[in-house]
Amino acid sequence: MAMKRILIKGGRVVDPARKIDKVTDVFIEGGHIRQLGSVNYQAEEVIDASGLVVTPGLVDMHVHLREPGDEGEETIASGSAAAIAGGFTSVACMPNTKPPIDNEASAEYVFLLAERAGGANIFPIGGVTKGLAGKELSEIGQLSRGGAVAFSDDGNPISDAEVMRRGLEYASMFNKTVISHCEDLSLSGDGVMNEGYVSMVMGLRGVPKAAEEVMVSRDLILAAFTGGRIHIAHVSSAGSVDLVRRAKERGVKVTAEVAPHHFTLTEESVRSFDSNYRMNPPLRTTEDLEALKKGLKDGTIDAIASDHAPHSEEEKDVEFSFAPNGVIGLESTLPVSLTELYKTGILSLSELVAKLTCNPSSILGINRGTLGEGAVADITIIDIGREWVLDAGKFRSKSRNCPFNGRKVCGKAVYSIVAGKVFKLD
């Protein structure tokens, strides 16, 4: 089927990969960017982007899509729809499905279902170890051949340092990054929130920041030792930010991400006993929150990722200590980030867009995140001035466990375009 020639007219084009921030036109032909600037080509569809921001398609490098195994919580199709609704044209899904993405066929299966869904690009992340058990390495080469863009046992920390060492070495042979869920289980134990004054007052078992920071430190040492590329997932503490910053100064091949709930919410939210504030790592203190924002500003933290983790209402509607960890974020990440980081002046628009486009694309090694001529026409068009209230009941995700439900935000994706296919959003 022939693809439309599309003209996006008069928008503020923000492409950090090419250091572009100006009002101009974008012309799409054959599913690719043909030209930026005034064009003489005949378009079959014109999108008036006056007063809107046009960016490369947003990339979320950390989502859980639950298929196969827990399709009642999310599927690749519903997760794809949620991504599109949130302005994300590409997402990378973690391997902790049932069975996990730990072999070539399971990685190919993700691509097959994503193609059937016909929405966002879905890139699989392969398990570092078989069954995500932390014992025996997966077939890294075969997973790469099947399309895995990175490797992680996310949800399960790799406690054995020798296994992590070998994972870094083997992944580097295929120019891939290992994404580390940093948690020392002997320290976190059965904790359900940040360890400190609030957990003591509430009578809930705490997770000390050291549980994260000990593993961050170990993995940075192993990355330096092996020369491998390590990415620290969902950084939550000031100590972790400092460790990553110092490692970067030493030349360690490290990148890091933060989730919106960690730079927006603190442990004080848990006083409500609302299980939608239970996640791993847990919400920390105001001091940690400010350190995360500083890390975003100075480049220590490279990417913003949702850590989209769907759970059914039945699972979450229990006592806080018995609820599963995780919150959804595909449809709230962009507006919350714009509201908390851009509108407050912590990040410029270009800095924020970089952490949602070219930076995660670079970490994953995927050919996305730019509006350069010839690039795949993955584009997000955003109304950064639109004020609205997040309503999880209207989300495209199958699950409703959003910690920002009812929150007033500013900024919304109004178009998502995937390889020239236009999705006009509400």
The answer to whether position 1 is within a domain reads: no
Altogether, the residues listed in the chain come to a count of 426
* Tokens describing residue 237: 């503490």
The terminus-to-terminus CA distance of the chain in angstroms comes to 27
The pTM of the full predicted model, rounded to 2 decimals, is 0.97
| pLDDT tops 80 at residue 184 | yes
% the chain with pLDDT above 90: 97
Answer yes or no: do 159 and 26 share one domain: no
Answer yes or no: do 82 and 17 share one domain: no
Q: Which domain holds residue 226?
A: 57-364
Domain containing residue 84: CATH number: 3.20.20.140
Answer yes or no: do 266 and 307 share one domain: yes
pLDDT score at 123: 98
Residues assigned a catalytic role: 307
Answer yes or no: do 420 and 350 share one domain: no
pLDDT score at 106: 97
- Mean per-residue pLDDT, 167-194: 98
| pLDDT tops 80 at residue 417 | yes
Q: In what order do the strands lie in the sheet with 303-304?
A: 151-152, 177-180, 229-232, 254-258, 303-304
The confidence band for 426, taking pLDDT boundaries of 50, 70 and 90, is confident
Answer yes or no: do 271 and 140 share one domain: yes
The answer to whether position 203 is within a domain reads: yes
- Name the residue with tokens 């690749």: 76
Answer yes or no: do 311 and 284 share one domain: yes
pLDDT score at 38: 84
- Name the residue with tokens 């955003």: 382
Nearest CA to 412 out of 317, 334, 350 is that of 334
The confidence band for 41, taking pLDDT boundaries of 50, 70 and 90, is confident
- Mean per-residue pLDDT, 176-205: 98
Read off the pLDDT of residues 318-357 as tens digits, 9 standing for 90 and up: 999 999 999 999 999 999 999 999 999 999 999 999 999 9
Answer yes or no: do 197 and 286 share one domain: yes
| Residues 6+ away with beta carbon under 8 Å from 196 | 206, 267, 285
- Mean per-residue pLDDT, 181-187: 98
Query: Three-state SS string across 213-258, please?
Result: HHHHHHHHHHHHHHCCEEEECCCCCHHHHHHHHHHHHCCCCEEEEE
Nearest CA to 102 out of 79, 134, 60 is that of 134
Answer yes or no: do 343 and 392 share one domain: no
Domain containing residue 43: CATH number: 2.30.40.10
The answer to whether position 369 is within a domain reads: no
pLDDT score at 2: 58
CA atoms within 13 A on the CB side of 17: 19
Nearest CA to 14 out of 55, 52, 44, 68 is that of 55
Nearest CA to 270 out of 260, 258, 281, 284 is that of 284
The answer to whether position 371 is within a domain reads: no
| pLDDT tops 60 at residue 1 | no
The answer to whether position 19 is within a domain reads: yes
Answer yes or no: do 270 and 303 share one domain: yes
Report how far residue 204's alpha carbon sits from residue 250's, in angstroms, rounded to the nearest whole number: 39
The answer to whether position 213 is within a domain reads: yes
Q: How far is CA 175 from the centre of its chain?
A: 20
Q: Domain tally for the chain?
A: 2
